[in-house]
Amino acid sequence: YTAEHQPEGNSGGWQGQSRSRDVARTGQGGGEGNVCGIVGYVGKRDAAPVLIEGLHRLEYRGYDSAGLAVMHRGRLRVTKTAGRVQDLRDKLSGQTAKSTIGIGHTRWATHGEPNETNAHPHTDTAARVAIVHNGIIENAEQLRDQLQASGVRLVTDTDTEALAHMIAAELAEREDVTLEDAVIRTLHRVEGAYGLVVLDIKNPDQLVVARNGSPIVLGLGENEMFVASDVSALVRYTRQVIYLEDGEIATITASAYHTKTLTGTDNSDNKTPTTVDADAGDYELGEYSDYMRKEIHEQPDALRRALRGRLDDRFATARLGGINLDARQLRNIKNVKFLGCGSAYYAGQMGAALVEELARIPADAEPASEFRYRSPVVDPDTLYVAVSQSGETIDTLMAVQELKRKGGQVIGAVNVVGSAIGRECGHGIFLHAGPEVAVASTKALTNMAVNFALLALLLGRVRDMSAANGQRVVNGLRNLPEQVSRMLNAEDDIATIAHQYAAADHMFFIGRVRGWPVAREGAQKLKEISYVHAEAYQAGELKHGPLALIAREMPSVVIIPSDDLVAKNLSTIEQIKARGGPVIALTSTDIPEGLADATIRVPRAEPELEPILLNVPLQILAYHAAAKLGRDIDKPRNLAKSVTVE
């Protein structure tokens, strides 16, 4: 599919097959522990600086060790560290040997401790083959046992080392075995997820690359080729890329590439390069100290991109050509279900509320991780929306595949054109958020919600929503970027409140109806980057148990949209205050002075759209609480930007 750009903007186009003119935006995904990074290079440049630069671009993903392998005068030179990419750079600073081919890796440990020995790349005993690998080999223990029984001495605790020995053994078995054949034969014995790159000193002009469940992208240069787990590692050198599909393998040289399936079918003719609509500057911090704050402040522009060309004043509706459904098909939709994980799931809840309010169609959201395990009843009249920033989230991808097996009607809502979910769905809604680097989603979540508002508007206008009501929503959507800008101007005031309550060990986030998914997302943001325990509750549920926890040490954030439930939300504040609990009110309406201990005000929007605005101050609140506590905001512990293994 592609983000279809028109002279006045974009219509949200999404096509099942890429073309050479296609425009892709970037995202994240992959990793041995979901977040590892892969870089490979073959060409005319000195390989080591290219690899180091690529690994630097992947540092945001989180890692505990780094390494690279280059070939010099027919021998492997492997350099590894249990530290940062800068430590690796320092280790290489005294080396003058040049190489035009190499592979690099940043590792997040899953098999074995995070030390230099377990760092990638891994080699066979004779140091003929070097390999870097993302993913988890599920039958690694069995493979390692077989190798040791045959006399191989394993020196690491990793699953990846087994692959290096197995590939080397295949190459040694017969002289006419190619590196590609050796990799294919090895992978036929492997169970699990992988994205990998293999280097062989007896094939000094080529790299072999394979993918199954962990993203791999090829970068096409002039007499040079690149490999990475994320295009962010490539955009400094090229914007022409090829995305590998699961079950595919590629062999690349400086001047050519070919791809085939693991069953041996050549499919190079189906691989048309995609142009990445991003450059190295998109991944620079600029004036900001970290990516999360940068991406919070990029939201007005991200919203403008999402809305450009998609608001139809003539018919008071939305244009979403990428969903590939005409008016008759839209009218036949009886239900809408959003499937996502984490923030994407909460955005789906916001989307479900918008669809029910604007289109009067039953809608709900469900965690994609639960959907495929409960033997779901798939209704052919239901529109399923698979939501993922990276487009690589394994739980959501597997839910899409389950739906397709059962004949479900599914579209994607992703931020990465060449992603697995995008390709699997074939059509859907492109988020237009731009590259999002920080683990905690901000602008992608906001753009998910605004795209779901567009979908709800479109569904409403093919049904009974009046033109006047449709135009009201169109105007409200058009106002959102400026309203978000106004909230960002109040960042210092929100930061003051965040600093005041950052020392709390626990916080509640309370909301009703429209405010409920906002509360859930607000609690998620706070706990994932500040490590403050936070729970979200529906306001009416407080008196059914959680009220017992209210105390002076337990602040509550109460979300108060300007709807007909204001009085009930004010009553909730009174209940909390009566029990000594501090209250931070997040509101788009007037509330009595002094009722809350602190108040965060947002501009009043069209009522259905207010949850989109109410999210933004909670992002700022979480950010400044985490900063006050000295947290690593962009790379919170134990978390990954994209979860591509279970």
Q: Which residues are catalytic?
A: 36, 641
End-to-end CA, the chain: 27
293, containing H or E segment? helix 291-297
Q: Do residues 224 and 202 lie in contact, with contact meaning Cβ atoms separated by under 8 Å?
A: no
User: What whole-number distance in Å separates Cα of residue 636 and Cα of residue 642?
Assistant: 13
Residue 352, amino acid: A
| 225: phi then psi, degrees, rounded to nearest 5 | -135, 150
Alpha carbon distance 148, 574 (integer Å): 68
Alpha-carbon span 132 to 155, nearest angstrom: 16
* Close Cβ partners of 348 (under 8 Å, ≥ 6 residues apart): 338, 339, 340, 365, 366, 385, 387, 448, 452
Report d(CA 516, CA 260) in Å as an integer.
48
Listed as own residue / partner, the contacts of 68-71 with beta carbons closer than 8 Å and 24 or more positions apart are: 68/39, 68/102, 68/103, 68/104, 68/105, 68/121, 69/102, 69/103, 69/104, 69/121, 69/123, 69/130, 69/132, 69/199, 70/99, 70/101, 70/102, 71/99, 71/101, 71/102, 71/199, 71/201, 71/204
Residue with tokens 């009607």: 409
What's the CA gap between 447 and 226, in Å, rounded? 31
Q: For residue 421, how many C-alpha atoms fall within 13 Å in the half-sphere facing its CB? A: 36
Contact 233, 280 (CB under 8 A): no
CA proximity to 53, closest of 92, 97, 110, 26: 92
Taking every pair of C-alpha atoms in the chain, what is the biggest distance, in angstroms?
83
State residue 297 phi and psi, 5-degree precision: -80, -10
Q: State the Cα–Cα distance between residues 396 and 402, nearest whole angstrom.
A: 10
- Beta strands 101-107 and 65-72: pairing type? antiparallel
With beta carbons less than 8 A apart as the criterion, state whether 460 and 359 touch: yes
Put residue 545 in one of left, alpha, beta given phi > 0 → left and psi -120 to 50 → alpha: left
For residue 264, the Cα-to-chain-centroid distance in whole angstroms is 31
Instruction: Provide the 3-class DSSP secondary structure of residue 617.
Output: helix
